């Protein structure tokens, strides 16, 4: 997917990119590839692949779950890495208030410089493990939306993310293909953590064989105080 095709695909979903937004994505690509030469941000560096597998992939929730992306919503992106999906979402919806959580300082340094270059406001960077941030009163049950892409399986991911979602808010998981078994295994954890699965949508990225699954979970009750457990525990002893 080259930049022109990217623009055309977005137009099909009623997103008409401005010249400023086109320039922001172009700058994002340039900085991602340059920084990746000395900081491990991504294995994907071909321009058409970046536009498809990073940029377009990151914004698919806007087409699928558009109603939950309300004007001025607060969004926390857990384990954002090089800024996916939150930065592409922010470029398209500039009034989103973004908080990015990542445990690696080098990635956050890249994002800080990128955010300044792109002229984005209301983006907070938090250096820490999701388990610790989820117990921090500043962030716990604070967000309208929490996103995560390619971070962990759904059981572990739910313990990272649902404690950050406010009651009535949503957790949006961007996953690969064929996650039925993973979803089934995570049903107990989602329930324990106060969530309820609302939707599961399978899609294929345009002009490719790249399959994806988007999962929408609503926070219907508060998360018990013991969750998330201390750093490392969700992976070692997942909720069953």
Nearest to 28 by CA among 99, 119, 149: 119
Number of alpha carbons in the 13 Å side-chain half-sphere of residue 145: 29
- Whether residue 92 lies inside any domain: the answer is yes
Tell whether the model's pLDDT for residue 17 goes beyond 80.
yes
The reported pLDDT for the residue numbered 138 is 96
**Whole-prediction pTM value?**
0.94
From start to end of 52-164, where are the E strands?
74-78, 97-102, 123-127, 143-149
Mean pLDDT of the chain: 95
Q: What tokens were used for 165?
A: 């979602």
- Whether residue 79 lies inside any domain: the answer is yes
From start to end of 41-175, where are the E strands?
74-78, 97-102, 123-127, 143-149, 165-175
The reported pLDDT for the residue numbered 156 is 93
Task: Give exposure, 199-219, as e/b (b: 16+ Cβ within 10 Å).
Answer: eeeeeebeeeebebbbbbbbb
Nearest to 59 by CA among 18, 13, 19: 13
Answer for the pair 177, 214: CB distance below 8 angstroms, yes or no: no
- Whether residue 34 lies inside any domain: the answer is no
- Whether residue 88 lies inside any domain: the answer is yes
- Whether residue 45 lies inside any domain: the answer is no
The reported pLDDT for the residue numbered 53 is 96
Q: What is the pLDDT of residues 69-91, one digit of tens each?
A: 999 999 999 988 899 999 999 99
Q: Is 129 annotated as a binding residue?
A: no
Tell whether the model's pLDDT for residue 150 goes beyond 90.
no
In this prediction, residues 123-152 reach a mean pLDDT of 94
The reported pLDDT for the residue numbered 178 is 81
**What crossing angle do the helices spanning 3-12 and 19-36 adopt, rounded to 10°?**
130
Q: Is 235 annotated as a binding residue?
A: no
Q: How many domains does the chain have?
A: 1
The reported pLDDT for the residue numbered 239 is 94
CATH number for the domain spanning 117: value is 3.40.50.150
- Whether residue 48 lies inside any domain: the answer is no
Q: Which domain holds residue 157?
A: 60-236
Q: What is the pLDDT of residues 151-201, one digit of tens each?
A: 788 999 999 999 999 999 999 999 998 888 888 899 999 999 999 999 999
Q: Is 149 annotated as a binding residue?
A: yes
The reported pLDDT for the residue numbered 120 is 97
- Whether residue 10 lies inside any domain: the answer is no
Nearest to 219 by CA among 68, 87, 78: 68
d(CA 93, CA 122): 12
- Whether residue 163 lies inside any domain: the answer is yes
Q: What is the pLDDT of residues 54-70, one digit of tens each?
A: 999 999 999 999 999 99
The reported pLDDT for the residue numbered 233 is 94
Q: Is 48 annotated as a binding residue?
A: no
Between 5-14, 21-30, 128-137, 175-184, the lowest mean confidence (pLDDT) is in 175-184
Tell whether the model's pLDDT for residue 112 goes beyond 80.
yes
φ and ψ of 147, to 5 deg: -120, 155
Tell whether the model's pLDDT for residue 208 goes beyond 80.
yes
């Amino acid at each position: 997917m080259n930049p022109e095709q990217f623009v055309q695909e977005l137009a099909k979903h009623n997103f008409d990119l401005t010249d400023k937004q086109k320039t922001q994505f172009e700058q994002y690509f340039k900085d991602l590839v340059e920084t990746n030469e000395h900081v491990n941000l991504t294995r994907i560096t071909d321009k058409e692949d970046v536009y498809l597998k990073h940029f377009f992939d990151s914004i698919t929730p806007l087409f699928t779950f558009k109603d939950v992306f309300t004007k001025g919503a607060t969004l926390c992106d857990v384990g954002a890495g090089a800024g996916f999906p939150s930065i592409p979402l922010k470029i398209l919806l500039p009034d989103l208030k973004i908080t990015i959580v990542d445990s690696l300082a080098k990635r956050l340094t890249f994002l800080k410089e990128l955010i300044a270059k792109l002229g984005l406001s209301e983006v907070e960077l938090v250096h820490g493990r999701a388990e610790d941030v989820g117990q921090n009163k500043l962030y716990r049950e604070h967000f309208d939306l929490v996103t995560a892409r390619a971070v962990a399986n759904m059981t572990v991911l739910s313990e990272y993310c649902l404690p950050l979602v406010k009651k009535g808010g949503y957790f949006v998981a961007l996953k690969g293909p064929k996650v039925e078994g993973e979803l089934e295994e995570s049903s107990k954890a989602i329930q324990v953590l106060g969530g309820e699965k609302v939707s599961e949508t399978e899609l294929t990225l345009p002009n490719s064989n790249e399959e994806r699954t988007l999962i929408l979970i609503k926070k219907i009750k508060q998360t018990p105080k013991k969750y998330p457990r201390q750093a490392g525990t969700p992976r070692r002893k997942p909720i069953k």
